Amino acid sequence: MRIDICGSVGSGKTTLARQLSEEYQIPLCEKDEVVWRREADGDHKRAPKERDQLFNEFLTQRHWITEGTPRKILRESFQQADLIIFLETPVVIRLKRLFLRWYQQRREKKTLGQAPTWKMLWAYLKWTRNYPRNRRILLEWLAQQGLQERIVMVKNSQAAQQLIEKNLL
C-alpha cells in the first residue's frame, strides 16, 4: 500500500502518518524532511537535485506513507499512491494545535524543525490562511492527472485510520 496524506498545518497529518507507519511497519517520509536538512545550526533547504533524488529513492519502495502540506514540489508521490488522503480537520482545531505547539516549543526551548519564533508563528498562520487556495490548486492538478478516484477526504485521523484498515485488511 502506498499512501499520501496531505492537509493543512496542524491538521494532524504527521501524527497520523507516524501512527500508521508504526502500526503497519510501513516506511514513512515526511516531505518537510526531504525539503529541509536539519542541522545543529538550523534548517537548510536542500538543493532541488538532492531533494528530488532523495524523494524518488524513497518512492521506489513497495510500500510507503508520505505526508505533507500541498506544495508544487514533491508531487511524484501522488501519481504513485494507491490512496491520497486529505485530512480536513476543522480550522478551529488546527489553530488551537498551532498555538499549543508553538507555546510548548517556546516554553520547553526545543524545536521541531523550525525555531518557535514569532516569525514562525506568523508563517503558520499564513499557511493556514492560504491552505484553501493551495488545496484547490492541488485538487485541480490531481484531476488533470486523472487521479481523483484515489482521493479521499476525511475530517479526522480516526476516519482515516478506519479507511486504511478497510483497504489493508
**Which residue(s) pair with 3 in the sheet?**
65, 83
Domain range for residue 112? 2-168
Domain with residue 124: its CATH number is 3.40.50.300
pLDDT, one tens digit per residue, over 117-158 is 888 889 889 999 999 999 999 999 999 999 999 999 999 888
Structural contact between residues 71 and 144, judged by C-beta atoms closer than 8 angstroms: no
Q: How many domains in the chain?
A: 1
Question: What is the value of pTM for the model shown?
Answer: 0.88
pLDDT, one tens digit per residue, over 67-80 is 998 888 889 999 99
